[in-house]
Structure 1
Amino acid sequence: MMRALPNSTEAYLGAAIAALGTDDFAPAFYAWLHRCIEIDNTTMLAYFQTRRPEILFCQARVPSVHERIDSDYISGAYLIDPFHELHVTRVDPGLYRLRDFAPDQFHRNEYFASYYRRTTLVDEIAYVAYPAEGVSVHICLGRDASSGRSFSPRDMEIAHRLSAIACGLVAKQWAGLSSSGDYTDAALVDRVRQRLIERHDIALSQRQSEVALLILRGHGSVSIGLRLGISPQTVKVFRKQLYRKCAISSQAELFSLVMPLLSD
């Protein structure tokens, strides 16, 4: 049996609807979501095709959640973030939980160690909506060190029940956003290859560059092989070639070499 939503939830939803089209919408929208599900933080942002994301609204109990969002995430790290990949692959509108779609080695990769762990996030879900062509808006809702708890099955049940309402409101509120161009991983791979040649005189093949990008996102050899249609052993060969050409011996060194190329 479904439990009733907390008292006055409808009033909070009404306030969010009344605020549509104004700067008051985001905080009112968050207040409604927080009334329905206990949330430690939110990050509302828009992803575009060929330009950096735009932060629409942030709130957190723990300052470290957003401490480096401008200097690290927006400047380039977003390109290897699992949520950005949802934008690239244009998933259906709805609710997504990071632990359900993150790459198999996400918690072991350098992006997680150098950025994500510092946010103290222990669980994260997001509503994904498409207010305009080439634009996706993600309403990320997190649990962090302030509570130290993951979302419960009951929390997730409620979050799914709210999905159509949340995505509909988001699409309406940010319908004025616009984007142009076409973003693909192939374009990103080409950019990295070109900049490695220009700045480091390192000439990677297309496949080596694809493997590098997937390593940075947190994919292991099996996952990379499935993505590229090659065997895990072949992935290991490309990884060795990649490391040798770059004169590196670890994922951390690969991260240090490539990340500055993404942030331009």
Structure 2
Amino acid sequence: MVRVLPNNTEDHLGAAISALGSEGFAARFYEWLHRSYEIDNTTMVAYFQTRKPQVLFSQARVAAVHDKIESDYISGAYLLDPFHELHVARVPEGLYRLRDFAPDQFHRNEYFASYYRRTTLIDEIAYVAYPAEGVSVHVCLGRDASSGRMFSPRDVTTAQRLSVIACGLIRKQWEGLSSSGDYDDEALVERVRERLAERHGIKLSHRQSEVALLILRGHSSVSIGLRLDISPQTVKVFRKQLYRKCAISSQAELFSLVMPLLSI
């Protein structure tokens, strides 16, 4: 008689497949992934073109992971998140690890200090798939304070090996989602510029507003220069002009000023 292993991942995969199209899919899907390699939490989120993201499912051992997700993240902070950048760039489907694509000063920026650090997340990977035109679904899987450990090379290898299956299931489950219009980062820059003028009487140029958002996303002067095709020294000039016009002296103050303006 064949002995059934207590951690039979194939059984959990079968349960997830059987649950496709139902409200119970996300929990079964996470259970399969959790049995395949160690995970502390998940946030399954859909990004759209011209409206706020939608949390499809979440689960965590530590309440702080999702404590501010609706009030802070969904309300506007997502526009500073590297994962949203993946949606904007429409990267190929697959597995992505935050530390591999985050801006060069992500762990030193105010978004990280004010929001991300409070989640207690110490490592994060995500399956990215496109179930419909203009929609990306990210199944984010994290390690947080409950384990205190990053994903091991073996974990990442296993996660990568399962990527084709995971992305296929994501596409099938959420194929009914829809989005309209096109995401326009230039429009976001203009919205921030206009709201600064309307609410605070601060008149920035379009380029100064661009630099402000890139600073808040965690880009260094060198990285901003590469993005905007200008020299790092020119970026520093724009930064000084920006801080002077806003009457601020730190990124924390810039974050507090701009964050309320991001909401659609």
Taking the aligned partners of 1:137 and 1:87, their CA distance within structure 2 comes to: 9
Matches of residues 1-264 of structure 1 in structure 2 within 5 Å? 7-264=7-264
Residue 238 (structure 1) shift: 0.4
Residue 6 (structure 1) shift: 8.3
Deviations 1:80-127 (A, max 9, x none): 000001001111100000000011111111111111000000100000
Residue 263 (structure 1) shift: 2.4
- Does the 8 Å contact 1:122/1:145 carry over to 2? yes
Residue type of the alignment partner of 2:85: E
Local SS of the residue matching 2:44: strand
Structure 1, unpaired ranges of 5+: none
- Does the 8 Å contact 1:6/1:36 carry over to 2? no
- Does the 8 Å contact 1:6/1:35 carry over to 2? no
Taking the aligned partners of 1:152 and 1:6, their CA distance within structure 2 comes to: 23
Could you tell me the TM-score, scaled by structure 1's length? 0.97
Residue 251 (structure 1) shift: 0.5
Percent of matched pairs sharing the same residue: 82
- How many equivalent residue pairs? 260
Deviations 1:105-156 (A, max 9, x none): 1111111111100000010000000000110000000000000000000001
Residue 235 (structure 1) shift: 0.4
Residue type of the alignment partner of 2:28: A
Taking the aligned partners of 1:177 and 1:116, their CA distance within structure 2 comes to: 27
Local SS of the residue matching 2:129: strand
Taking the aligned partners of 2:138 and 2:229, their CA distance within structure 1 comes to: 30
Structure 2, unpaired ranges of 5+: none
Residue 202 (structure 1) shift: 1.3
- Does the 8 Å contact 1:40/1:142 carry over to 2? yes
Taking the aligned partners of 2:124 and 2:7, their CA distance within structure 1 comes to: 25
Taking the aligned partners of 1:64 and 1:126, their CA distance within structure 2 comes to: 19
Q: Which runs of 4+ in 1 moved over 2 A?
A: none
Taking the aligned partners of 2:148 and 2:214, their CA distance within structure 1 comes to: 30
Deviations 1:45-93 (A, max 9, x none): 0000111100000000000000010110001100000000100111110
Residue type of the alignment partner of 2:58: C
